[in-house]
Structures are given as C-alpha cells and as structure tokens.
Amino acid sequence: MDPNPPTTKKKSRPALSLRARALGLLAQREYSKLELARRLLQYTEDPDEIPPLIEDFVERGWLSEKRVVEQVVATRRKRFGSQKITQELRDKGLSDEAIAGARETLKEGDLEAAREVWRRKFPEPPLNANDKARQMRFLQGRGFSLDIIRKVIAGVDDD
C-alpha cells in the first residue's frame, strides 16, 4: 500500500466580490439598506466599502425602501396587525416617511385582518372572562390595537 496516496485537488471557487454577494442577496428578496449592510459585513475586512456600494444600488434602483415596505406588508398582513408590522419596518431601519405611508394603509384594514386572524385561531366566541382575556392577549401579541380587539371580540362592526 502506498504510504502517500495521491491527493485530489478540490476545485476552489473564486471568492465573490462584495458587489456580487450583494446582488446575490437582492436576487433572493428585498433588503433595506441596514439589513444589506449587516449581511455584507461578514464578507469584507473593510466595512467602509459597504456604504458606497449601497448608495450605488439605491441610485440604480436595485435597492428600494418602497419595495421593502410593500413586501413586508404583503407577507405579514394576513397574520399581524399594524403595530407589529410597523415595528418590524422600524427594525429593518426604514425611514419614517416610508413607514408612515404604509401605516395608514395598514390601519384601514386592521379590523378585517384582526377578524380573520381571530376566526382562524378561535372557532367560537369566548365563553367566559378567562377565554376573553386569552383571546385578547393573543390578538395583542399579533400587533392589533386594543380598540380593534374589543370590536372583534364583541362582534361590533365598524361600518
């Protein structure tokens, strides 16, 4: 038996540039400036490279706060209330202007969204005070306001 078996060379992939990594991330989903910067930090030794790259992407239209807001609202609306979605948008580092535009739209549909979430979770109205409190806590945790929650639990129609 040969004490030094032939080594097989592994084909190494060339290191992707920071720009290529950023484009790869954006091809998967929309990112805010803050999210993209955080993701790119692990791929560079010089964090000062990131801001000019991000600004270039914004100028080219590849990075858009408006699209991030639209994506988050579209994916979260059926499960969460305006308060929780607004907080998620803030956590993503989006501007107050972008969030304010979405907040009005979200608040308009909050009652119907809360009813739908409540119906899916609870097949029947609360039977006692404990059930009512439990259902209200659930909806609060989903980001609905107390006013909306009371209307849903009481079965009051806003129309």
Q: Which residues of 97-108 are buried (b: 16+ CB within 10 A; e: fewer)?
A: ebbeebbeebee
Contacts for 157 with CB less than 8 Å, ≥ 6 apart:
151
> DSSP letters of 44-92?
-S-GGGHHHHHHHHHHHTSS-HHHHHHHHHHHHTTT--HHHHHHHHHHT
Q: Which domains does the chain have, with CATH numbers?
A: 17-63 (1.10.10.10), 110-154 (1.10.10)
Q: What digits encode the pLDDT tens for the residues 53-78?
A: 999 999 999 999 999 999 999 999 98
Question: What does the pLDDT read at residue 157?
Answer: 42
pLDDT exceeds 90 at position 144: yes
Higher pLDDT: 14 or 18? It is: 18
Mean pLDDT of 22-35: 93
pTM listed for this prediction: 0.77
